[in-house]
Amino acid sequence: MCSIMGYCGESASREVFEKGFERTVSRGPDDSRVVDTGKGLLGFHRLAIMGLTPSGMQPFRLGNSYVVCNGEIYGFEKLREMLRKKGYTFQSDSDCEILLPLYREYGTGMFAMLDAEFACIIYDGEKRSYLAARDPIGIRPLYYGYDPKGTILFASEPKNLVGLVGQIMPFPPGCYYADGVFHRYCDIAQVDSYCQDSLETVCENIRRKLIAGVEKRLVSDAKVGFLLSGGLDSSLVCAIAARKTNAPIRTFAIGMRQDAIDLKYAREAAEYIGSRHTEVYMTPEEVVGSLEEVIRTLGTFDITTIRASIGMYLVCKAIHKRTDIRVLLTGEISDELFGYKYTDFAPSPKAFQEESQKRVRQLHVYDVLRADRCISVNSLEARVPFGDLDFVRYVMSVDPWLKMNRYGKGKYLLRHAFEKGGYLPADILWREKAAFSDAVGHSMVDYLKEYAETQYTQEEFEAGCRKYSHARPFTKESLLYRDLFEKYYPGQGDMIPDFWMPNRSWKGCDVDDPSARVLSNYGDSGK
């Protein structure tokens, strides 16, 4: 990961800018640079992944224009060759150096051309104005707000902007900002018509496109590792990668010592694919002791996101301390496409699709937020094969009647797609879904709930909940998370739409805890 920031006007104070910008130096500890464009400031903290030489340092400049980008542009070599034929020259092997030439040639139309995970800020030296953009899913973070004089600021994380602007808001995915207006260039969740492929053709395409999504994310000038939970999604990513690399891949799993469901399955998957596997164990003290730092890192009060982040934060911390790995592939985004445990209760294909669209559009403030922050705060870069744009577009276009759980097994299409070829042992390929916050150990969530109970009397809890009108807490745990969030992001609760919960309007989903373990269909998921 890298960190970017832009103070987009003449009211920019360098001292104020640098104070905010230094809060995310862990995203890019290799080098830092701030440039004065003549009409504001652009900053870049570098984590060198592609083009490791100093020539790959940003901001990049072309004439009087500048760009900073936190991103990975897949297949950039073809775009660079096309631009060379138009007379452009390049000084580095960085994928992001192509952005200013692309902008000069195609203007804002360039964003729809990119197969990328990116967030960028451009200063157009000819127009003396700024524009910014973010990838269609929002895998790379970007936030914005306005200073007291009305000047817009952009930054990789909300912590950069605390105290510099009024309301902080996430930059909408699939949009670009220009001339004071946000424009949508891609709604990745929108489907105009469903594809009519048969089930077998759908599964064949899913397998082919996911393999391609993993393969392109293995390209890196820095060392690559893999988070392996032992669940279906991360195990498939690792199994595919193991076949695409010459040396054994490095995999990492985390859990509580006494009741981590996933550790045994991760160990089995690692042995099967022949990876160099590392297990990390959490203690109850680490779970509770890391809570406040995790919430500060995440910038959220959401229960599900925080619970699931404890383990990810601690395993990434261990990877950073013990290895020289810089890139991590993860299994996020599969659930939003193929379904959760609670989407088994979807009353119709239409309802299933609408729920999937909602979740995909909100990924940037839930699952993707967790993966980005837990990984980047430990000076690592996240890559998400299930978020491959071609893959997401295709799965979203599949008839939801096929994606619903009509087979007695959730995510049937994904499982069936890899049933042939021996990618995984059958007991992992067909294993029931377990929530990550449970799978690292059922006791972990229990420790958090017990700790929250000690923080408030019943009267304090009731009074505390009344403090908040947006996303009002409803348990002591949720109040604790909200209070800790407000400590670091005072008055910024609108950054998060609400608590991530199953669709309570569906029969069987009207629950008061987001964990799948409270659903009637959880069954063998916890074994």
- Catalytic residues, by residue number, are 2
CB neighbourhood size of 495 (10 A): 18
- Please list, in sequence order, all residues whose beta carbon lies within 8 angstroms of the beta carbon of residue 228, skipping any fewer than 6 positions away: 234, 235, 238, 251, 252, 253, 266, 269, 270, 275, 277
Report the distance separating Cα 375 and Cα 378, nearest Å.
6
Q: Are strands 175-178 and 129-134 parallel, antiparallel or unpaired?
A: antiparallel
Q: Quickly count: other Cβ atoms within 10 Å of residue 418's Cβ.
A: 21
**Residues near 71 by Cβ (< 8 Å), separated by ≥ 6?**
95, 96, 116, 117, 118, 119, 120, 135, 140
Q: Distance between CA 56 and CA 488 in Å, rounded?
A: 34
Share of the chain residues as helix, strand and coil, in percent rounded to the nearest 5: 45, 15, 40
Residues near 147 by beta carbon (within 8 Å), at least 6 away in sequence: 7, 9, 11, 153, 164, 165
- In terms of Cβ atoms closer than 10 Å to its own Cβ (0-12, 13-18, 19+), residue 149 is exposed
258, 441 contact by CB (below 8 A): yes
CA–CA distance, 483 with 493 (Å, rounded to integer)? 10
Whose CA is closest to 120, among 101, 91, 100? 100
Q: How far is residue 33's CA from residue 38's CA, in Å, rounded to a whole number?
A: 16
Q: Which amino acid is at 302?
A: D
Q: Is 245 helix (H, G, I), strand (E, B) or coil?
A: coil
Give the C-alpha distances (Å, rounded to integers) separating 298 from 70, 408, 511: 18, 36, 25
